Structure 1
Amino acid sequence: MSDPLAPSYDPSTFESRLYTEWESAGTFKPRGVGEPYVVLLPPPNVTGTLHMGHAFQHTLQDALIRYHRMRGFDTLWQMGTDHAGIATEMVVARNIGREGLTRDGLGRAGFIDKVWEWRERSGHTIEKQMRRLGTSGDWSRSMFTMDPMAADAVVESFVRLHEEGLIYRGQRLVNWDPVLKTAISDLEVVNEEEDGHLWSITYPLADGSGVLVVATTRPETMLGDTAVMVHPEDERYASLIGKMVKLPLTDRQIPIIGDAYVDREFGTGVVKVTPAHDFNDYLVGQRHGLPMINIFTPDAVTNDNVPEAYRDLDRYIARKQVLADLEAQGLLVETRPHKLQVPRGDRTGQVIEPYLTDQWFVKMDGLARRGMELVEKGDVQFVPPNWINTYRHWMENIQDWCISRQLWWGHRIPAWYDDAGKIYVGRDEADVRAKHGLGGDVALTQDNDVLETWFSSQLWPISTMGWPDEQKMAQLGYERYVPSSVLVTGFDIIFFWVARMIMATDHFTGRVPFRDVYITGLVRDKDGQKMSKSKGNILDPIDIIDGIELEALVAKRTTGLMKPKDAPKIEKATRKEFPDGIAAHGADPLRFTMCALAGPGRDIKFDLGRAEGYKNFCNKLWNATRFVLMNTEGKVFAGKPSPTTDAERWILARLENASTQAAAHFASYRFDLLAQALYEFAWNEFCDWFVELAKPALTGDDAQAADSTRRTLLHVLETLLRLLHPLVPFVTEALWRSVAPRLSIDAPTISLQPYPQAGDNAGDFAAAETDVEWLKAMVSALRRIRSELGVSPTRQISLLVQGGGEAECKRLGRFDSQLRFLNRIESIDVLQGEPPAAAAGLVGEMRLFVPLEGLVDLGAERTRLDKELKRVEAELMKSTNKLASETFVQNAPPAVVEQERQRLADWTAQRDALSAQRARLG
C-alpha cells in the first residue's frame, strides 16, 4: 500500500510516526541469521540529555547498523544507560532538598529508594531523545548498569580480581572533591588556567648558617611539608643536601633533599615537598622514603596534624592565616602574580585536593601489558590508526587504578570487616561466612564505598551478554555476538573506557571486546570553541530537530550557570546569533550534517547553516520524488530497466559509481566522503540533470522511450533512497513507501530492503557517459550565455556552431531535440565564415555563437563588455607587473610563482575572448 505523499517536506508530520512503526514491528531486533554485526552503544549517563557529541556519535553508529542490516547482516546495536554515580547522587540530593529532606537524614537505604524513584520517573529522558534522532537499536535488550544482571557481573569481577591478588586496599594519593567528599577520576577533573600568586618564603637552616627561600603557590600546605628539595646539580645548593631546615610556624625540622625533578629556573630553584597533598611530591616522597602528613579533613578543613593555631580552618582561611603569620615573623619574602593550572571538579566546580586516603585499587601493570599486546598484533584496530600511539603511551605509563568512591549510589564494594578490621571479600555476606568459616557470632560490616562507574562500564561488552551466568549468556547470544564489530567513541575516553574494556574482556573471557575502534573528534561550535554551559554556546540537538523559540533558548542557556554574572553576556550573544530562535530542521538534516563533518581529524566545527543546507537537500529529494510520481501516475513496472536512451544509460552508470563509492566509504569509516558522494549524485546528477534530461523523452512522441524513461526514473530513485537510508532514514522511508509500489515492491519498510551493491547496475554504458557529459557541457555553456546576457530561460534563441571533430558533430545531430528542448533553441545551424554579433562559448573543439540581434540591447551589451574588458585588463596588468619583478620571481616560493603564471595565462585568455566578442559588436 502506497503512502500518500504530502505536497511539501515537513518532517514533523512523519518522523515520530515512522519511528514508532519501526520499533513496534521489531525492525531493530537481531534476526539470528546472517553474519553478525554488533555495535556497543557507549552508555550515556542516566541523568543526561542528548547533547551534540551524542548526536554525532549515535548518527555514525546508526548509519553503520542500518547499512549492515540492509546488507543482510544479523545486526545488534546494544542499547543501555550508565548509572553515573556522582551525577545521579547530586541530582537526587538536589531534588530531595526541595522537599526539605537531606541525604544523611534519609540514611543510605532511604536515599537509594529515592534514587530509584527518580530513575523510574525521569531517568529515561535520553532514550526517548535518542529515538527522536532515529537510533535503530534493540531497545528490548537495553541494560542499565545497576540492573541485576550487570550488578552480578560487577561483583563477580571484583571477587575474581581480588582472589587473583589484582585488587587490594591501600593508602594512596587521589583526586578528592571536598564538596562531594569522594575520590574522583582524572576524567572528572577540569584543569583551568587562572590568576593566582607565587609566594616566596624563608626556611631557616637548622644550624643557623643561613636560609633557603622556597617558592610555592599553596602556602597553607607547608604545614604538611616533610622536606625541601633542590636539584642535585645546582651549584647554589648542592652542598646543603642532607642538612635540615626549620619548618616555619611549626616546631618541626625537615631535611634538604636532592632530586632531578626540580626545575632550577622556577622561582628560587628550591621547592617544598608535601607528599600528602601533591601528586608529584607524592612520587618524590616515595623515592626518598619521606613521611606523609595529611593536614586536611575530607571537607578540606585543617585537622589535628597542624599546629593548634591553624586547626579547624577552611583551607583558604588557613592560607590567609599562614601568610599573615609568615609576614609578621619576617619570613614572607615576596608575593607576585602567577598564572597556574587549577584542577576543578567538573560536577561541583570546586578546587580538587590531592588527598591521602585508604582506597581500593586494581594492579594494572600485567593487565596493561596484555592489553597492549592485543592491539599491537591487530586483534583490536584503531581507526584512524594513529590513535594507537595515544593508547600505547597511556598503557606504558599506567598507574594502579583507584576504583572506590565514597558514595551511596553505585555498586557497593563486596567486602566486609570484622570488629578487628580484618577484610573479607565475597559475592555476598553468606559467601564470606561460608568461605572463611565465620559463624553468626562474628559481626560483619560491609564496606560503605561503592565502585567507580568506569569499573562497571569496563564490563559492558560481556555484562550485556549475561556474563558470568552461562544460561543467560546462551540466551543472549554471547558466542555469536562477542566480540562486537566496532566501537564508536571519542578520543577523550581511550584511557578510561576503551583500554579498560580491552583488558577486562580479555582477562575474564580470553576474547577481545571489539574488532575495530573508530575514534571520533569532539563537536565544537562554528568558531572551533568547545561547547560549554559557561560559554553559552551549547546547541541542543533536539532544539535543532524540533526548533525552539528565542526566549526559551535564552532561558536554557542562562539558567543554572556556575557563574551567574556571565548571564547577560550569554543572553546578548544568543539574541544576536539567533534573533528568531532556531527553526525546526528535522532529524535527517542534522544527521546528514554530522556525517558530512565526520572527517578523520580530531574535532569538527558545527555550523547550523550546514543543517539548513541539508534541509534544502531533503526538500530537493522530496520535490524530485513528486516529479517522478507525477510522471509515472498509473504506471507499475517490474524488474530492472532496459534503457533505450543515452540519458538512461548515463544515469545508470552514475548510479553504479555511487554504489561503488558508498561501499568503499562505509568500509573505511569515511562518513564525510560517503555523504559528499551521495549528495553529489542525488542533487546534481539525479535531481538536476537526469530529471531535466528525462523531460524530452517524457514529453516526446516515442512511447517506448517515454515508458523506458519512467521505469528508469523510478528505479534510480528507489535505489537512491536505499543508498541514502542509513544517513537520512526518515525522509527516505517516507518517500520510498510512495515509490516502491510502482516498482511492484511489496514490503513494509525500506529498512529491511537490500542495500545497493556495486554491480547491481553495471552495463556497457561508457559511450553513453561520454556523450551525455558532452550534452551537459553544451547545456551548461548555453545557460551561462543566457545568464550573462540576462536573457529569460523561456525566450527562444538561435544557435550557430563552428568547428568540432567528427564525434562532436555526430553528437550535435543525435542530441538535436534534447538541446532544443532544454535550451529553448529555435534553430541550430553550422556557421560558415565569420560570425555575426554574437555571444560565444566553447565546448571541446566546437565554438558556440548565440546571435544577439533582436535578443539584447546591443548598446548595453557593448557597455557591459567594455566594463568587463577593463576589469580583466587591470587584473592582467597586475600579474604582468608581478612576474616582471625579479624580486618576486627570485624570492617567492616556486609554487606561488607558478600560480601567478597560471593566473596570467587565464587573464590573457579571458581578455582575448572578450576582445573578440566586443569586436563582433562593432
Structure 2
Amino acid sequence: MPKTYDPVGTEARWQQAWESSGAFHPDPAAPGEPFSVVIPPPNVTGSLHMGHAFNSALIDTIVRFQRLRGKNVLCLPGTDHASIAVQTILEKQLKAEDRRKEDLGREAFLERAWAWKAESGGTIVGQLRRLGYSLDWQRERFTLDAGCSAAVIEAFNRLHEQGLIYRGEYLVNWCPASGSAVSDLEVEMKEVDGHLWHFRYPLSDGPAADGRSYLEVATTRPETLLGDTAVAVNPSDPRYADLVGQTLTLPLVGRQIPIVADEHVEAEFGTGCVKVTPAHDPNDFAIGQRHQLPLITVIAKDGTMNAAAGRFAGLDRFEARQAVVAAMEVEGCLVKVEPYRHSVPFSDRGKVPVEPLLSTQWFVQAEPLAARCREALANPSGAEPRFVPERWQKVYRDWLTDIRDWCISRQLWWGHRIPAWFVVSETGGAITDSTPYVVARDESEAMAKAEAQFAGGVHAHPVVLEQDPDVLDTWFSSGLWPFSTLGWPDAQAADLQRWYPTSVLVTGFDIIFFWVARMTMMAGAFTGQMPFRDVYIHGLVRDEQNRKMSKSAGNGIDPLLLIERYGADALRFALVREVAGAGQD
C-alpha cells in the first residue's frame, strides 16, 4: 500500500477500466428513462484551458448523478472544425514559411488542415480523458465527419427548397485581414479615440435664396465621401425644407448628388445633414434603397481604394483617410476637426476594423426560423427551452427579435463547401454575379438539374459546372449539432429516437447568440422541436486581468498542469464548488 495517494495513476487506471467495460456506452434499447447531453464541441485550435475544464466538470456532475438515478444516460463528445480560426492558424504557419495557401492549392491546403485537426483534436481528446469526463468515446463526432457533413448538405438543400436560403448582393461585414465576410455576431464593437471631420459640400446651382452656398456634414470616415451619392436631412427640419430636391457638388469628385429627406436623420445631431454612402454603411444602404440611390464602391476587398476612388486609388483605406482630409483642406472644404470617441466594429478573428462592403453572398432568412423559437418560449405549458438562471431567457428572446438575415457564406477553404454548382458554361467558363446555379446534394444531382434547364435549344454547348468555392459559416454546422450527432437526417436512427430532444445544454452566456439560438432555430426548422429541455448558463473563467480565457487570446491555463499536481478530482471539485453559481464568472 503506497504511503501517499497517487491521483494520476489511480485516475488513469479507473478511466481505462470504465472505458474498457463500456460503462459510458449506453444501448438505446436498454431500459431506463433517457437522459442525454451533447457536449459543446471545443474548436480544434490547439488545447483546452480552464474554461473547458469548468464546463466539463459541470456536465460530468450532472450526467453521473443521472446515471446513479438509474437513467439511460448518453454523454456524447465531439469537436468543431472552426473554419476561420483554423484557417488563420494555417495561413500564419505558411506565412512563416514564406508561402501562401494559393502556392499549395486547395487540396494540399486541406490535407494540411486535416493533419492539424488530427494533432489538435488528439490533444483535446487526451485532455478530456484526463479530466475524468464520463463520455461515450465510441460515439465521438466531428463537425466535418461524414455524418455531420451529410446533415449539413441536407439542411442547406431543404432550406433552399423552402425559399429560406437565397443568394444576393447585400452589404456585409467584410474582414480585409481574413478576406472573408463575417456575420454580425463575429463583430466586436470597440471604443476608439478618433476624430470627427466637418466638411462643406457646395450647392450646385450657387447660393440659395437665404444666401447659403453649402451644407456642412460631419464624418468619422472621410475616405468614404468619394462614394457619396446623397446628403440626407430630416423631412421635418425647417432649416433645409427648401433645399430638398436640389443638388450638391461632391468635392474632389465633381459629381452632383441630391439632397434627400429621410426620417433616419436626427435633426438635433450635429448640423442635421448626413452624407450618404450606400455602398459603405448599413444605415446609408437602407437610405439608398428608400431613395433609389446608386451604390458606388470605392474600397476593395483587400482594404485599399479601388479605381472608383480616382487619384486615391491604390492607397490603404487609412492612408486614404489622411490624403482625403488633406485634399479637402486644400480645396477649402474642411471646416474643423474634433476629437471624437466612438464605437468601431472589429472583426473578432481578423482583429481589424471591418469594412461594410457590397458583396454577393448566401443568406438564410432568419425571421421565419426565429418566429418558431419565440412561439416555443410562449408555450402555455412552459417556456421551451427553460433557462437556468431564468434571467438569461430575456437575452435569448431579445436576440430572436428584429433579427437580420444571416450571411452564411465564407471566403475560405477549410469547412463545409457550399452545395451549389454554377453553370459556368452560361457565362464563358467563369463564375460571375450573374452566373446561374443549381443547389443539389451532390454533383451528379446538380448535373441532372442543370442539364434539365440548360442543355439543348438555345444552349448549344455542353453543360459545365463548377462548385461554389466558398464554405459555410461554422455556426451553420454547429447549429445542427444536437441532432446531426444522433443520426439526423435519418429520422429512424436509434440514437435520435431514444435521446432526442436532449435533456440539458450546459454552456457559457457568451455564446447564447452565437450557438444556443442557432441550434434552436435549426432544430425548430428540421425536427419541429426545441433541441434541449433545459439550458444551464454558467459564467466564464477569467484571467488575472478579468479577460475571458480563450485559446485565441493565448491566456488559458492548461488544466493538465493542475491535474499533474493535484489530480483531476481535486481540480473538478474546486471548479464546481468555487465557480459554479447563478451564471456568474
TM exceeding 0.5: yes
User: Counterpart of 2:152 in structure 1: which amino acid?
Assistant: V
User: Counterpart of 2:363 in structure 1: which amino acid?
Assistant: F
Greater helix percent: which structure? 1
Q: 1:12 to 1:486 in 2, by over 3 A?
A: same
Q: 1:37 to 1:192 in 2, by over 3 A?
A: same
What is aligned with 2:116?
118
For residues 30-86 of structure 1, the C-alpha deviation after alignment (integer angstroms, 9 at most, x for no partner) is 243311110111111111421232222221111101111121111111111111101
CA distance in 2, matches of 1:530, 1:489: 14
Match of residue 39, structure 1, among 31, 37, 40: 37
What is aligned with 1:427?
441
CA distance in 2, matches of 1:239, 1:49: 64
1:100 deviates by 4.8
- Partners of 1:277 and 1:294 within 8 A in 2: yes
- Partners of 2:180 and 2:411 within 8 A in 1: yes
What is aligned with 2:513?
495
Unaligned runs of 5+ in 2: 208-212, 427-434, 456-460
Counterparts of residues 740-889 of structure 1 (less than 5 Å):
none
1:113 deviates by 1.6
Does 2:304 match 1:293? no
Greater relative CO (CA pairs within 8 A, separation 6+): 2
Does 2:350 match 1:348? yes
Does 2:420 match 1:415? yes
CA distance in 2, matches of 1:395, 1:289: 30
Match of residue 7, structure 2, among 5, 8, 11: 11
What is aligned with 2:458?
none
For residues 247-291 of structure 1, the C-alpha deviation after alignment (integer angstroms, 9 at most, x for no partner) is 111121212223333344443332212122122222232333322
RMSD of aligned alpha carbons: 2.2
Greater strand percent: which structure? 2
1:411 deviates by 0.8
For residues 417-471 of structure 1, the C-alpha deviation after alignment (integer angstroms, 9 at most, x for no partner) is 1132111111111002223435692111111111111111111112111212357
1:537 deviates by 6.1
1:148 deviates by 0.8
- Partners of 2:369 and 2:524 within 8 A in 1: no
User: Counterpart of 2:309 in structure 1: which amino acid?
Assistant: V
User: Counterpart of 2:481 in structure 1: which amino acid?
Assistant: W
Counterparts of residues 98-497 of structure 1 (less than 5 Å):
98-209=96-207, 210-307=213-310, 309-377=311-379, 378-418=383-423, 419-420=425-426, 421-438=435-452, 441-469=462-490, 473-474=493-494, 477-497=495-515
CA distance in 1, matches of 2:106, 2:563: 41
Unaligned runs of 5+ in 1: 547-583, 605-922
Aligned to 1:249, the other structure's residue is in SS state: coil
* Identity within the alignment, %: 52
- Partners of 1:53 and 1:523 within 8 A in 2: yes
- Partners of 1:524 and 1:603 within 8 A in 2: no
1:164 deviates by 1.2
1:19 deviates by 2.3
User: Counterpart of 2:130 in structure 1: which amino acid?
Assistant: R
Aligned to 1:524, the other structure's residue is in SS state: coil
Q: 1:47 to 1:432 in 2, by over 3 A?
A: same
Corresponding pairs, count: 559
What is aligned with 2:432?
none
Aligned to 2:254, the other structure's residue is in SS state: coil
CA distance in 2, matches of 1:12, 1:442: 63
1:394 deviates by 1.7
For residues 190-235 of structure 1, the C-alpha deviation after alignment (integer angstroms, 9 at most, x for no partner) is 2221221111111112222221111111100111112222233334
1:382 deviates by 1.5
CA distance in 1, matches of 2:559, 2:196: 44
User: Counterpart of 1:451 in structure 2: which amino acid?
Assistant: L
1:315 deviates by 0.7
Aligned to 1:193, the other structure's residue is in SS state: strand
What is aligned with 1:884?
none
User: Counterpart of 2:402 in structure 1: which amino acid?
Assistant: N
Q: 1:400 to 1:534 in 2, by over 3 A?
A: closer
For residues 230-251 of structure 1, the C-alpha deviation after alignment (integer angstroms, 9 at most, x for no partner) is 2333343343333221111112
Aligned to 2:309, the other structure's residue is in SS state: coil
Aligned to 1:517, the other structure's residue is in SS state: strand
User: Counterpart of 1:333 in structure 2: which amino acid?
Assistant: V
- Partners of 1:192 and 1:341 within 8 A in 2: yes
- Partners of 1:384 and 1:600 within 8 A in 2: no
Which one is further off, 514-523 or 265-274?
265-274
- Partners of 1:523 and 1:603 within 8 A in 2: no
For residues 853-890 of structure 1, the C-alpha deviation after alignment (integer angstroms, 9 at most, x for no partner) is xxxxxxxxxxxxxxxxxxxxxxxxxxxxxxxxxxxxxx
TM-score (norm 2): 0.90
1:301 deviates by 1.3
Q: 1:591 to 1:235 in 2, by over 3 A?
A: farther
Aligned to 1:271, the other structure's residue is in SS state: strand
Does 2:566 match 1:594? no
User: Counterpart of 1:387 in structure 2: which amino acid?
Assistant: W
Q: 1:263 to 1:470 in 2, by over 3 A?
A: closer
CA distance in 1, matches of 2:396, 2:13: 43
1:303 deviates by 1.4
CA distance in 2, matches of 1:537, 1:408: 28
Larger radius of gyration: 1
CA distance in 1, matches of 2:228, 2:579: 50
What is aligned with 1:843?
none
Q: 1:603 to 1:285 in 2, by over 3 A?
A: farther
For residues 772-808 of structure 1, the C-alpha deviation after alignment (integer angstroms, 9 at most, x for no partner) is xxxxxxxxxxxxxxxxxxxxxxxxxxxxxxxxxxxxx
CA distance in 2, matches of 1:602, 1:223: 48
1:9 deviates by 4.5
